[in-house]
Each structure stands twice: as structure tokens, then as C-alpha cells.
């Protein structure tokens, strides 16, 4: 639990936009590495742009701070 209220007061969650695709990609890649699946991770930024922000969104949008 975070005890510093200043940190909590500065958090803003917003819908991710296509311009955030690189940040979302890095987050997904970091999660894969953390879970030991980094070697099997094959997505690209283009995949995230298409599947996360394209016409036929295949993945749910996320919130960013």
C-alpha cells in the first residue's frame, strides 16, 4: 500500500491513444519478460497499433498515467 498521498494525488488514468502504442508495446513486452515469456514474445509496435487502436480492435484499450 502506498502511504505517500502526494503520489496518489498525481495519478491520472486516461484511455490510451494510438500515439501511446510504443508505451503500450513496452508495457506488454515488460510483462512477458517478467513472466518468463520474453523469448516467446513476438509482437511488434505495428501489431499493437493495428490490434489495439485500428479499425478492428482485437485487444482491449488500457489506461495510462
Per-residue pLDDT of the chain (65 residues; tens, 9 = 90+): 456 566 667 777 888 888 999 998 999 999 999 999 888 889 999 999 988 888 876 666 566 55
Q: Answer whether residue 4 is part of any domain.
A: no
Q: Answer whether residue 27 is part of any domain.
A: yes
Q: Answer whether residue 39 is part of any domain.
A: yes
Query: Residue 43, Cβ neighbours under 10 Å: how many?
Result: 13
CB 32 within 8 A of CB 40: yes
pLDDT score, position 37:
86
Q: Answer whether residue 12 is part of any domain.
A: no
Could you tell me which residues come within 8 angstroms of residue 39 by beta carbon, excluding any fewer than 6 positions away? none
pLDDT score, position 10:
77
Amino acid at each position: 500500500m502506498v502511504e505517500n498521498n502526494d503520489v496518489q494525488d498525481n495519478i491520472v488514468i486516461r484511455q490510451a491513444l494510438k500515439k501511446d502504442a510504443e508505451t503500450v508495446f513496452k508495457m506488454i513486452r515488460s510483462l512477458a519478460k517478467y513472466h518468463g515469456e520474453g523469448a516467446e514474445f513476438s509482437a511488434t509496435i505495428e501489431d499493437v497499433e493495428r490490434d489495439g487502436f485500428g479499425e478492428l480492435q482485437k485487444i482491449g484499450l488500457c489506461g495510462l498515467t
